[in-house]
């Protein structure tokens, strides 16, 4: 049996995919439950999703219930990882350290983000930091 890719979706990708139905972020969200990978989350990441999406809800033309439903759907298809060890400080932006902690805990192959520069430290652990387009190219969804 082939090992599933272990992925982490940064909040900026979720936000971009909800803002526009065009582009790689939307494409990725539409196939997030694919059998080739496993989405991984932590409590911290879910809280960030909720905080950012609710702050941007008017721009997204969503209400609180819509956002809660989106987050529940993400939780339903995700592997919940509990973080027991902190690798901090490691990211260029300390606010992103929790993503590397999560990636290490769930043995992630990819962090998918538009903020590659702040997460370059993940490369030291063999975790690829890709944009949604780069990830979709990697898995053969787009050329």
Q: Which residues, 6+ apart, have CB-to-CB distance to 99 below 8 Å? A: 8, 10, 45, 91, 111, 113, 119, 122
Total-model pTM: 0.92
| Higher-confidence position of 86 and 110 | 110
User: Per residue in 87-96, pLDDT tens?
Assistant: 555 655 656 7
| Higher-confidence position of 94 and 117 | 117
Q: What is the pLDDT at residue 97?
A: 86
Whether domain 5-138 has CATH 3.30.1330.20 = no
Predicted confidence band of residue 104 (pLDDT cuts 50, 70, 90): very high
The tokens of 124 are what?
Answer: 């030291």
């Amino acid at each position: 049996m082939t090992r599933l890719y272990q992925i982490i979706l940064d909040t900026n990708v979720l936000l971009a995919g909800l803002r526009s139905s065009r582009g790689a972020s939307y494409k990725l969200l539409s196939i997030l439950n694919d059998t080739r990978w496993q989405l991984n989350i932590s409590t911290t990441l879910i809280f960030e999703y909720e905080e950012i999406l609710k702050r941007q809800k008017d721009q997204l033309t969503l209400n609180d219930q819509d956002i809660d439903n989106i987050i529940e759907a993400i939780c339903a298809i995700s592997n919940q990882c509990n973080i027991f060890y902190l690798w901090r400080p490691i990211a260029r932006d300390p606010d992103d350290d929790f993503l590397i902690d999560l990636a290490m805990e769930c043995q992630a192959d990819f962090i998918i983000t538009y903020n590659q520069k702040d997460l370059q430290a993940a490369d030291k652990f063999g975790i690829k930091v890709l944009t949604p387009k780069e990830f979709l190219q990697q898995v053969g969804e787009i050329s």
